[in-house]
Amino acid sequence: MTATPRQKRAAKITAEEAASLVKSGMWLDFGVTLSQPDVFDHALAARAAELSEVKVRSCLSVKPRAYLEVDPNGDHFHAFNWHFGGYDRAKHDAGRCTYIPLNLGEVPDYYRRFIDAVDIAVIKTCPRDENGVYNFGPTNAWHRAIVETAKIVVVETSPAMPYVFGEHNGVHESEVDYVIDGNDSATAELHNAPMSDVDRTVARLMAGEIEDGSCIQIGIGAMPNAACSLLSESGIKDLGVHTEMLTDGIIDLVKAGRVTGARKQLNPGKVVFTFALGSKYLYDAITRNPEMQCFPVDYTNMPHIIMQNDKMVSINNTTQIDLQGQAASESDGHRHLTGTGGQLQFVRGAYASKGGKSFMLLSSTYERKGVRKSRIVLDLTPGNIVTTPRSDVMYVVTEYGMVNLKAKSVADRAKALISLAHPDFREDLARDARARNIIPKGFV
């Protein structure tokens, strides 16, 4: 699929004029996280009564979307999402949003090979710079692929968008059809969840396995954030960062002097990511900072690239794991919660790295309606999606310890995982495992 030839300079239009380009049945693309448009979104919502079957692709919404708020029954718009945030999850529960399965690093290829319809792309960017480029800010992801394949490209500029350096992190004015002046509302923030004692215990166990010169990927959540906090206070040296998501915790590591990138094989001295999402503290740290580099997701997330950094360490959460080691990290039965994201790709890339390791972090229990339940289970909740297969899971860590599942038999895996469960559940897990021959009779 080739790019549509553009005019030499984009035309300035209003959000209302841009929304008037939308026809019933069209496919729109709104980009990823902070790059989803605001003034265009409201202008589109204002046209709801005139439109039907308009389909909108986006990823991880950081604020309510006007086009969905005005259309509670789905008479006019349909939302398709590559990864859920809290708002997307609520809209999915209400029947207004559906998930698109993926490996995140493959998405640029999906646009170039498999997605036939991007009628209009609307991406929020920084204002045009001195080189005629509209910088994508803290989110690169697959925006280049959208620009290359869309029939019409619209940028909505925001002076509040942090300007971030990086490979292919912007679109030249010659590739843009229309420009909308956006508002200057503050960039949406995602604050860290408070850390519990369990989070700190899990992080401490895992952090002890990280060596000087390791290159890390950190996922979202309180446990990875706790890991960053512990590493910041440690004596570890020369960490590198090659990650999907850049978080406040990684900035803490940089400011503590733990991250130098000096031993990285790829992009030495640079912190590499595909999107940043956090607080103003994070955005201030990356704005026009040449050490912070925002790359397309097919560079950050593809295993054959990840593995090129030695001692690659992947640190992710999961919500449930069965006794064979299958990690379900994105759903609660048939209720979709988040998405596959880059978890599996980083697990595989880290394993293939020289001296690499991957960690799956979870608390041993959770509470629902006042009832405590085990996250380590005989069988996954019916309908649960396996994010990382048993053959790929390496280290599993709870507050009760850490085990490495590589090269372990099914029976040995089950015994190891039972040792990580809360003591109140171990006896039942062991009995059920033996009853189903997961741990054979007579196996010690």
**Whole-number pLDDT of residue 220:** 81
**Whole-number pLDDT of residue 25:** 98
The pLDDT tens digits of the residues spanning 169-190 come to: 999 999 999 999 999 899 999 9
The mean pLDDT of the chain is 95
**Whole-number pLDDT of residue 295:** 98
Instruction: Using the predicted structure, report yes or no on whether residue 360 has a pLDDT greater than 50.
Output: yes
Which of the pair, 191 or 397, is modelled with greater confidence? 397
- In whole angstroms, how large is the CA radius of gyration of the chain? 23
**Whole-number pLDDT of residue 195:** 87
**Whole-number pLDDT of residue 110:** 98
Two structure tokens written together for 288: 């026009």
Share of the chain above pLDDT 70, in %: 98
Using pLDDT thresholds of 50, 70 and 90, give the confidence band for residue 1.
Answer: very low
Residue pair 284/128 in contact (Cβ under 8 Å)? The answer is no
The pLDDT tens digits of the residues spanning 221-253 come to: 888 888 898 899 899 999 999 999 999 999 999
Query: Kind and range of the H or E element at 70?
Result: none
Using pLDDT thresholds of 50, 70 and 90, give the confidence band for residue 361.
Answer: very high
The pLDDT tens digits of the residues spanning 370-426 come to: 999 999 999 999 999 999 999 999 999 999 999 999 999 999 999 999 999 999 999
Helix spans in 196-235 (H): 197-207, 222-233
Average pLDDT over residues 192-197: 86
Average pLDDT over residues 35-64: 98
Instruction: Using the predicted structure, report yes or no on whether residue 102 has a pLDDT greater than 90.
Output: yes
Using pLDDT thresholds of 50, 70 and 90, give the confidence band for residue 2.
Answer: very low
Where exactly does CATH 3.40.1080.10 map onto the chain?
A: 11-181
Q: Of 173, 244, 330, 399, which is the active-site residue? A: 244
**Whole-number pLDDT of residue 113:** 97
Average pLDDT over residues 77-99: 97
Instruction: Using the predicted structure, report yes or no on whether residue 269 has a pLDDT greater than 90.
Output: yes
Handedness of CA 220, 225, 226, 227 (dihedral sign): positive
Q: What is the fold, at CATH topology level, of the domain defined by 11-181?
A: Glutaconate Coenzyme A-transferase (3.40.1080)
Range with lowest mean pLDDT among 17-21, 50-54, 191-195: 191-195
**Whole-number pLDDT of residue 193:** 81
Average pLDDT over residues 285-291: 98
Q: Which neighbouring-strand residues pair with 321? A: 327, 376
Where exactly does CATH 3.40.1080.20 map onto the chain?
A: 197-435
Strands 327-328 and 320-322 turn out to be: antiparallel
Identify the architecture of domain 197-435 in CATH: 3-Layer(aba) Sandwich (3.40)
Average pLDDT over residues 62-80: 97
- DSSP result, 18-46: HHTT--TT-EEEEEEGGGS-SHHHHHHHH
Q: Which of 70, 72, 68 is nearest to 80 (CA)?
A: 68
156 is catalytic: no
Average pLDDT over residues 93-119: 97
For residues 54 and 47, give the distance between their C-alpha atoms in angstroms, rounded to a whole number.
Answer: 11
Instruction: Using the predicted structure, report yes or no on whether residue 6 has a pLDDT greater than 80.
Output: no
**Whole-number pLDDT of residue 309:** 98
**Whole-number pLDDT of residue 291:** 98
Instruction: Using the predicted structure, report yes or no on whether residue 3 has a pLDDT greater than 50.
Output: no
**Whole-number pLDDT of residue 224:** 86
Q: Which of 319, 316, 314, 288 is nearest to 130 (CA)?
A: 288
Instruction: Using the predicted structure, report yes or no on whether residue 265 has a pLDDT greater than 90.
Output: yes
Average pLDDT over residues 187-205: 91
- The one-character DSSP state at 434 is H
